[in-house]
Amino acid sequence: MADELKQFTETFEKSLKPGALKSSDERGNCIWLTVRQSDLLQACQVCMANDSVFDSAFISSRGNEPASSFIVYYLFRSAALGKMVVVQSQGKEFDAISADVNAARWDERKMQDLTGLKFTNIPDSRPLIFHPESEMPDKHPIGGKQLIKPKNQDYPIAGTGMEGEFQIAVGPVHAGIIEPGHFRFHVLGEQINKLETRMFYLHRGIEKSLEGKNLVESLPMIEQISGDESVANSVAFCHAAERAFSLTVPKRAEFIRAILLELERIYSHLADLGGMPTDVGFYFAASRFAVLREDMMRLNQQVSGNRFLRGICAVGGVTSDIDKSKTFIITKTLDEFLKRFEAIEHTTLTSSTYLDRVFSTGKVPKSAAEDLALVGPVARACGISCDLRKSLPYSVYSDLSINESMEANGDVLSRFLVKASEVKESVRLVKWLVHNLPSGTLSCPVKLPSDEEAVHFGVGWAEAPRGGCTFFIELSDSGKIDRLACKTPSFRNWRGIETCTDGNIVPDFPLINKSFNMSYAGTDL
Amino acid sequence: MIIETLKSIFVCYTDHVSENSPDPDIRAVALLLKQRPLSRFSRSIHVRMVDCGSSNDVELEEGLMMSPRVDAERFGIHFVASPRHADVLLATGPVAQNMRNALVRTYEAMAEPRAVVAAGDGACTGWPFKGSYALADNGSGRVEDVVPVAVKIPGNPPSPYQLLAGILKVGMILDQKRREMRKI
């Protein structure tokens, strides 16, 4: 591994202009490369050419307000190295990489809105988090630049220009029990020509609110990012903080975290599996899946005291134990659960009315999934391997063998099959983890390192039910957060839905949306 | 597998709601059901929900409230698609700046008598993002600062039975409002 790493740094340096790479460093499962501002675009292209996948982009002003310069971080996942590659650069203005890397488009629009910087050559410069029709603050949240309020004409939504095409506007308040978002369908008759989504109605300013908070205060806020990813988000946040402070988590705590992650995956997937039959009118299966989900929520309550498994993860370990009586309850409930789950899965997949609606509906082309760097079950249904538990393993997952479920078709049925087999795989993992739970302490003391380095950086990730989430954290010496940035799987996958609706009929859209089942709150932060 | 399928058809999965239940939330619901008056409103409540900034947790619990285990439909509670059909607006929060207009317009579209329920700690107090630049009304984020609130349901998030109890309470308030309207 060390040779591969050296080779990577050498190729990287060779492909750039002399003097472009200022420093390279390996710390906390990441390779940190500092490059000259003018060579940033080229550095990102070199990373992409070396089989790395674009992960996320973050910006920071190091807590300075008003900020004279900003630091941008572009993160790439390198499965070959098993590490995250961080390309960072400091400057006053930057070239947009989204002209080359399509997946970075929303990231750069978000960075523009947060800081007020203008990225040069950005293909889409419309505001993302600030809506022209709503009130907004006077200053940009990061760096404190004066905010020039966008006007309604700054947000044009264009159709395909075909004759006879008209628009259907849906949202932000929808008909069902779901979160707010705006969908603009450009339709010709019943067929969708083009779909554009508009998110960020739920923007609550989480990243800014976390600044100045200590690690204990911030966890309840992290859990509010997205309800059914509470554990995954807090685990990824804990990984980031633990890497920044070089903490080693006890083995038992790692096992308990993994149990919670897999329990979360089960109940979260059950919502999607039940939602797809609901949207085709197959209520028998939908209500049975709902019963199973309620039972899993009650198991969560018994295991952790909260139906969303909140309040257990903490930096350095976990706050409460899973003792003998709880392991007994988990094993017993899951054994019975699996039998009932398989019966209802069989019923659903042998129903011709259901299969007729889901087969070949909402096909995501594999090329589009790669282009947009989609993650989670959506990407796995297109045949792209992207499970962070396997490609960038963390904590116990480095010793576990996980069967990654893959399908090739990319339609709604494939996503159903992937999610169903992930539920069964998670049940297997929880039972194994509970059976092999090691003894020991639950947490390690959180000691702040006393070196001269003023700011501590950390990048943490975890595989949430919807895909990988990444946290970036800057901590001051006293253990307070200077800047926290987060990219959730929902943020990565929203643009994927625009690629797969073209040519489908409008009544199939709820079904496609449910099969993706992204969290709106997790996107908008 | 055949036995499991037959079971899923014939076994009743719905909870028994009684005052002797070990779950305090179920006991509270049973008590409210006993108290509610014999009027149209408290027996059939139509709810429109608006998520103004919660982290989809309250929405998931609302979904489970309508699932066969809890089955709020048996107490006359329905979720409707349009605010024009609704008696109750179930708002979850904290209210984000970008959702403020949508919340106000949904409330204005409802016919009298109407009432608002604020569900979850975020909607009741603005926790935990109080003071953020992106929350409505200078970062307060409380639903009651935007539209008048009749019942508050605290919780992180409130469980399905707590939500059910809150909606049954607002049914009684609606009943009173209707009587007052008749007098005029």
Q: Which of B6, B8, B26, B55 to mutate to test the interface with A (most CBs of A within 10 A)?
A: B55
Beta-carbon contacts of residue B127 (< 8 Å; ≥ 6 apart):
B94, B121
A257 pLDDT band, cuts 50/70/90, is: very high
A-B Cβ pairs (cutoff 8 Å, strict)? 158
SS3 A175: coil
Tens digit of pLDDT at every position of chain B (184 positions): 777 777 777 777 888 888 888 888 889 888 888 888 776 666 788 999 999 888 889 999 999 999 888 888 888 899 999 999 999 999 998 999 889 999 999 999 998 889 999 999 989 998 888 888 888 888 888 899 899 999 999 988 899 999 999 998 898 888 888 888 887 7
pLDDT, one tens digit per residue, over A397-449 is: 888 888 888 888 889 999 999 999 999 999 999 999 999 888 888 888 887 76
Smallest Cα distance from B171 to chain A, Å: 20
B56 and A141 within 8 Å at the Cβ level: the answer is no
A287 and B122 within 8 Å at the Cβ level: the answer is no
Q: Which of A131, A173, A221 to mutate to test the interface with B (most CBs of B within 10 A)?
A: A173
List, by residue range, all CATH 1.10.645.10 domains of chain A.
206-524
Q: Which residues of A touch B57 (CB under 8 A)?
A: 227-228, 230, 308
Fold of the CATH domain A206-524: Cytochrome-c3 Hydrogenase; chain B (1.10.645)
DSSP conformational letter for A82: T
What is d(CA A405, CA A512) in angstroms, rounded to the nearest whole number?
Answer: 20
SS3 A160: coil
The CATH class, in words, for B14-183 is alpha beta
Q: Which of B60, B82, B98 to mutate to test the interface with A (most CBs of A within 10 A)?
A: B98
State the complex-level ipTM: 0.90
Task: Tell me which residue in B58, B69, B99 faces A294 most closely, judged by beta carbons.
Answer: B69
B64 and A173 within 8 Å at the Cβ level: the answer is no
Q: Which residues of B touch A525 (CB under 8 A)?
A: none
Contact criterion met (CB below 8 Å) for B4 and A345: no
Q: Which residues of A touch B136 (CB under 8 A)?
A: 135
Task: Tell me which residue in A200, A221, A524 faces B128 most closely, judged by beta carbons.
Answer: A221
What is d(CA A156, CA A106) in angstroms, rounded to the nearest whole number?
Answer: 16
B61 and A307 within 8 Å at the Cβ level: the answer is yes
A287 and B68 within 8 Å at the Cβ level: the answer is yes
The per-residue pLDDT for B40 is 64
Contact criterion met (CB below 8 Å) for A389 and A463: yes
Query: How much is the mean pLDDT over chain A?
Result: 87
pLDDT, one tens digit per residue, over A331-382 is: 999 999 999 999 999 999 999 989 998 988 888 989 998 888 899 899 999 9
Beta-carbon contacts of residue A463 (< 8 Å; ≥ 6 apart):
A232, A261, A376, A387, A388, A389
Smallest Cα distance from A297 to chain B, Å: 10
The per-residue pLDDT for B23 is 86
pLDDT, one tens digit per residue, over A260-294 is: 999 999 999 999 899 999 989 898 899 999 999 99
pLDDT, one tens digit per residue, over A459-486 is: 899 999 998 899 999 888 777 888 889 9
Smallest Cα distance from B146 to chain A, Å: 14
What is d(CA A390, CA A401) in angstroms, rounded to the nearest whole number?
Answer: 8
Selection from A233, A209, A198 nearest residue B135 by Cα: A209
> What residue of B is the nearest CA neighbor of A128?
B98
> What residue of B is the nearest CA neighbor of A344?
B5
The pTM score is 0.92
A451 pLDDT band, cuts 50/70/90, is: low
- Superfamily in which the A2-115 domain is placed by CATH: NADH:ubiquinone oxidoreductase Nqo5 subunit (3.30.460.80)
B4 and A287 within 8 Å at the Cβ level: the answer is no
A227 and B56 within 8 Å at the Cβ level: the answer is yes
**Cis peptide upstream of residue B22 (ω within 30 degrees of 0):** no
Beta-carbon contacts of residue A261 (< 8 Å; ≥ 6 apart):
A231, A232, A235, A462, A463
Gyration radius from chain B CA atoms: 17
The per-residue pLDDT for A297 is 92
Smallest Cα distance from B142 to chain A, Å: 13
B63 and A521 within 8 Å at the Cβ level: the answer is no
Cα–Cα distances in Å, from A351 out to A271, A293, A408?
19, 21, 21
- Residue A5: CB atoms within 10 Å: 16
Smallest Cα distance from A135 to chain B, Å: 6
- Residue A47: CB atoms within 10 Å: 26
List, by residue range, all CATH 3.30.460.80 domains of chain A.
2-115
Q: Which residues of A touch B156 (CB under 8 A)?
A: 306, 310
